[in-house]
Amino acid sequence: MFLLHTCRRVWFRGTAIPSAVVTVPHPRTRALNVAARPSDLTGNTPLLDLGRILQAHGIDNGSRLFGKMESLGPCSSVKDRIGRSMIDQAEQAGLITPGRTTLVEPTSGNTGIALAFIARERGYRCILTMPEQMSTERRMMLLALGAQVVLTPKETAVPGALAKAHEIVESLNGDGFMLQQFENPHNPKAHRETTGPEIWRDTDGDIDIFVAGVGTGGTVTGVSQYLKGSPAHGLPPLRPNLQTVAVEPMEQMLITAALGGAKIGPQGPHKIQGMGAGLVPQVLDLTLLDEVVPVHSDQAIDMAHELWMTGLPVGASAGAIVHAAVQVLQRPASAHKMAVCVIPSFGERYFTHPMFAEIKEKAQNLQKQPLPEPFDNTEYGFATRRG
């Protein structure tokens, strides 16, 4: 019989004191694959072959498209990674303390959800400021996780939510702490240390093109640093010719403008939640971007619906990213190349988004139907046998 030797410890004033060593009979000869906390489930998301989308758009040039399924994280978004990374670092640096510190952060939704679930896991109070146009599902997730939600005017986008967050931190007299996702270096670090290596491993190093939306800029920066190389972080170039493609809303082309490009059409509010925050994030390394593809909200929504029809529930942000990837791969120069695009979040989080207005109305107008014979419906509380 396999014997498991365990060393029991007694804790005294924060110090572990070894106690008796106990030999326990154990029938297994391998370790259980069990996570200790919800945040420990973060990362190691799979790649999904999106070849059906390429076929549907008539792309037959030998190119391949894979989706990095960040929607399968513990709280269903790519932001789970940075939520854990930023909180881990702040704890290790002694900047925050469970039971005393209140975490405050502006968010368009998914970063806030990541912070809220980890705050609940570890014992922090959490206040999130969020532009009012974000989906009701986001608000419900945050409230269900015990966070406080403060809405700000949609016209001011994330900068308005950021200003409100600063005001709240100041009112907490030293017990409030803002993780600052748009400028926190542990945002891209999370992707440099996890997302990038996972993509390199799962593509056997054959990736040619990386496509990601720009919200905070952490994903596109961190992954590109890992794959292209980053002397500042001691990373050798694994794929120096990687083509990094950033995606932003056509209605808010701030990244394009920052690189000297021209804006297309009217600029203002858009419907692609999770990107186009109304600012150029500090953590975004513009020098890593080979191209910025603007996608209109309508194009993003159309592609999101198309992905749903393949059985993949996504939101408008994933629709925008996949639409951009399709645009890139249909070029002759992309023949026989492999692209990986980010699927940032799960589609059920967007049911009150305008993209689902028609489906929502249809669902609300569904009518019950009578059961077939020989059911007697009066036995189930109906007024008549057949109604």
Catalytic residue, chosen from 39, 85, 230, 317, is 317
Radius of gyration from C-alpha coordinates of the chain: 24
Active site residue 368: no
Cα separation, 350 vs 270, whole angstroms: 15
Active site residue 79: yes
Catalytic residue, chosen from 79, 164, 271, 337, is 79
Give catalytic residues, as residue numbers: 79, 317
